[in-house]
Amino acid sequence: RLLVVGSVNMDLTVTVPRLPGCGETVLGFEATHGPGGKGANQAVAARRLGAAVRMAGLVGDDAHGAELRAALAAEGVDASGVGVAPGAATGIAMIMVRPDGDNAIAVAPGANAALGPDVRQAVAGGGSALLLQLEIPVAACEAAAEEARRHGMLVALNAAPAPAVVDAPVARLLRLVDLLIVNEGEAAALGGDGTAAGLRRLGPDRVVVTLGADGAAGADAEGAFQVAAFPVPAVDAVGAGDAFCAALTVGVAAGLPLRAAARRACAAGALAVTRRGAQGSLPRAADVDALLDR
Ligand code: ADP
């Protein structure tokens, strides 16, 4: 059983021939809206991979919020920890994605920003692992992580988006983390030499750095390692990181060695880039098994 404490957003996506520059308008192709937010995406990803998942977070008192809570429930995620922030709007992500799958994203946090340290109340009884991201206030992450440690849960953090500065609250949070997952940009933002081994010095015992089409690099007490990516036709990179984080956390929580869990996570990430969308692209356990066996 996994608890995700994190963001719940409505994704508004437009496919564009190329990303616009400052002051420029680009005529795009189709527009879609659908459930997103790194927290909700990772909760749904973990559920599709077979874990029992509970989610805690905040949506606004609006139609988007109701739709997103219903979407979590429809996926089989226990959304009883997702509250409604009075007077706040549900978080929104505006996504532009190119035909080759690269994207640019702006997020308005809305209700997600109202999540406070009292989220610790949602942690007790949450299960064997807690998975966090940085689309909610660091103080909420820290409180949840503290409470999870008190209950002997594994604490995983996907430090995304990258913090603007590694201030004292971020440094304290990192010391509460057992499993840190970052991409290359986030690794650089956290400081040190940006390698998985270097990031371990910030506190986490296990670190994995995702490298896009180059797979992933990791480090734990046994040493450093690389995992190759699964070669796939890339359609849309949205969702790859979320699928990776969910698969890695579910694997480690189930007792897999870090390297084996990272290989599974690379397969999950690869499957997500072959399909469009944030949650629509998240693979199921059987798809991951099939790619691993191929
Ligand atoms: P983020 O989207 O968070 O920046 P990455 O781009 O590093 O994360 O992707 C996460 C994981 O998804 C990678 O570690 C890799 O395993 C997988 N992945 C991403 N892009 C590709 C690709 N083009 N081909 C195969 N696997 C990919």
> Ligand 1: which of 38, 41, 182, 210 to mutate, most ligand atoms within 8 Å of CB?
210
Residue 289 CA, ligand 1 centroid: distance in Å: 18
Q: Which residues line ligand 1 (CB under 6 A)?
A: 183, 210-213, 215-216, 229-230, 232, 234, 237, 240-241, 244, 266, 269-270, 273
| Mean pLDDT computed over 150-158 | 97
* Ligand 1 atom closest to Cα of residue 242: 3
* Cβ 242 vs Cβ 41: under 8 Å: yes
Phi/psi for 121 (5° steps) reads -65, -25
Q: CATH topology for 2-6+36-88+113-293?
A: UDP-N-acetylmuramoyl-L-alanine:D-glutamate ligase (3.40.1190)
Residue 126 has pLDDT above 80, yes or no: no
* Cβ 119 vs Cβ 144: under 8 Å: yes
Q: For the chain, first and last CA: distance in Å?
A: 29
pLDDT of residue 19: 95
ipTM of the complex: 0.98
Residue 183 CA, ligand 1 centroid: distance in Å: 9
Chain center to CA of 265: 12
| Mean pLDDT computed over 233-243 | 88
Nearest CA to ligand 1 atom 2: 241
- Maximum C-alpha span of the chain: 52
Catalytic residue among 100, 193, 242, 289: 242
* Cβ 84 vs Cβ 65: under 8 Å: yes
Residue 173 has pLDDT above 90, yes or no: yes
pLDDT of residue 124: 85
Active-site annotation holds for 242: yes
| Mean pLDDT computed over 94-122 | 91
Residue 186 CA, ligand 1 centroid: distance in Å: 14
Residue 211 CA, ligand 1 centroid: distance in Å: 6
Residue 213 has pLDDT above 80, yes or no: yes
What tens digit of pLDDT does each residue of 42-76 get?
A: 999 999 999 999 999 999 999 999 999 999 999 99
- Contact residues for 76 (Cβ-Cβ < 8 A; gap 6+): 47, 53
Mean pLDDT of the chain: 95
What tens digit of pLDDT does each residue of 128-145 get?
A: 999 999 999 999 999 999
Q: Which residues of 109-145 are buried (b: 16+ CB within 10 A; e: fewer)?
A: bbbbbbbeeebbebbeebbbbbbbbbbbbbebbbbbb
